Amino acid sequence: MAEQLAKRPINVPLMSNLAAAGEEPEILFWVGCAGAFDDRYKRVTRAFVRILEHANVKYAVLGMEETCTGDPAKRAGNEFLFQMQAVQNITTFEGYGIKKIVTACPHCFNTIKNEYPALGGNYEVIHHSTFLQQLINEGRVGVAGGGEFKGQRITFHDSCYLGRANNIYEAPREVLAVLDADLVEMKRSKANGLCCGAGGAQMWKEPEPGKKDINVERTEEALAALDGNAAALANLYGVESGNAGATPAPRNSQQGSIIAVSCPFCMTMMSDGVKNKERENNVQVFDIAELIATAEGLNA
């Protein structure tokens, strides 16, 4: 780009500081454990904050006051630990009078939105895909001309906890649509999407014995869509079933392609799958926020 870019440091606003100053943010950005600790997903957190800054959203984070929502404990059956975590977080939210929470993790999103109300925590909870879609619709994020992803082949992998769990299928796709990319669907997508293999606390344990790892199965499906290789679908299990999407058009271009995700665990599983298939040289896994931040030229 010909324009001169300046690098502005971001001082991420802490909820405690805002409260001390008697201010109230528009949203609380719930970072989540993966967003705070996982090196790969920290880049997503940073990309999303850049977008918030760019769009002049008045936001705040809890910083060290955040603690696990309890999702992995609950899915693993440890209801006691889940509720301990939930009550602790609800106490924090109530202390600050939080009303609106945005998070880049579908698991945190589902837990706070659906399972905290029964424990006394009622908030408007928004996943970052929906929030990005809103910013785009309001014209606060533009991505004029599609940015650097124009024409690049991208396939979106549905997170179970965003999709089937909460019926959010269109928001991430509408966000990706502004990139003007060659967006293709996998054979199993939306309500028929195949899990990456990490949900239900699988992220923290080895899979049970079987004939294949779930993330490898899903990655092969994504690669078949990206490569336009219908023949590769024959190696997958169960794709004949369901309201399967169309087989993507064949593709000869050697240009790199992208698996887009909107969940930290999907990110890990799909990245591992790409490594397993030795395709890191021409297939990358990005969160939708990273793609938007890059296309908007916000990285510095």
Partner 1 sequence: MHNEYISALTPNLPFPVHFSIQNLLFLLVAAAGFGLFAWQVRKVRANILVGRDRDMSGNVSERLNKTLLVAFGQQKMFKRITPALLHMIVYVGFIVINVEVIEIMIDGLFGTHRALSFLGPLYSLLVGTNEVLGALVIVAVAAFWWRRNVGGVRRFTGPELRMWPKMDANIILYVEVILMIALFTMNAADLKLHGPELPGAFPISSLLTGLLPSSPEALHVLERVGWWAHIVGILCFLNYLPSSKHFHIIMAFPNVYYSRLVPQGQFSNVDSITHEVKAMMDPSYVVPAPATNPDGSAMAPTPFGAKDVDDLAWTNLLNAYSCTECGRCTSVCPANLTGKLLSPRKIIMDTRDRVEEKYNSPLIFQPNLYGSEAKHAEQEVLDKETHTLLRGYVTPEELWACTTCNACVEACPVNINPLESIIEMRRFLVLEESAAPNSLNVMFSNIENNGAPWAFSPSDRFNWADELFVAEKA
| 162/228 with CB nearer partner 1 | 162
The region, left, alpha or beta by phi > 0 then psi within -120 to 50, assigned to residue 180 is left
Question: What three-state secondary structure class fits 206?
Answer: coil
The first and second tokens of residue 160, run together, are: 């179970």
- Cβ atoms within 10 Å, residue 283: 23
Question: What three-state secondary structure class fits 170?
Answer: helix
Query: From the CB of 226, what's the least distance to partner 1, in Å?
Result: 20
| 165/177 with CB nearer partner 1 | 165
The first and second tokens of residue 88, run together, are: 């602790």
- Nearest to residue 30, comparing CAs of 16, 45, 9, 43? 45
Query: From the CB of 200, what's the least distance to partner 1, in Å?
Result: 3
| 73/257 with CB nearer partner 1 | 73
Query: Measured between alpha carbons, how far is residue 83 from residues 75, 109, 138 in Å?
Result: 12, 16, 37
| 120/255 with CB nearer partner 1 | 120
H or E element in which residue 125 lies: strand 124-127
- 216, 195 Cβ separation under 8 angstroms: no
Query: From the CB of 53, what's the least distance to partner 1, in Å?
Result: 5
| 37/275 with CB nearer partner 1 | 37
- Nearest to residue 292, comparing CAs of 182, 136, 163? 136
Separation of alpha carbons 141 and 155, rounded Å:
22
Query: From the CB of 275, what's the least distance to partner 1, in Å?
Result: 18
Query: From the CB of 146, what's the least distance to partner 1, in Å?
Result: 18
| 97/209 with CB nearer partner 1 | 209
Separation of alpha carbons 122 and 92, rounded Å:
13
Query: From the CB of 39, what's the least distance to partner 1, in Å?
Result: 9
Separation of alpha carbons 266 and 103, rounded Å:
15
Query: From the CB of 261, what's the least distance to partner 1, in Å?
Result: 15
| 24/38 with CB nearer partner 1 | 38
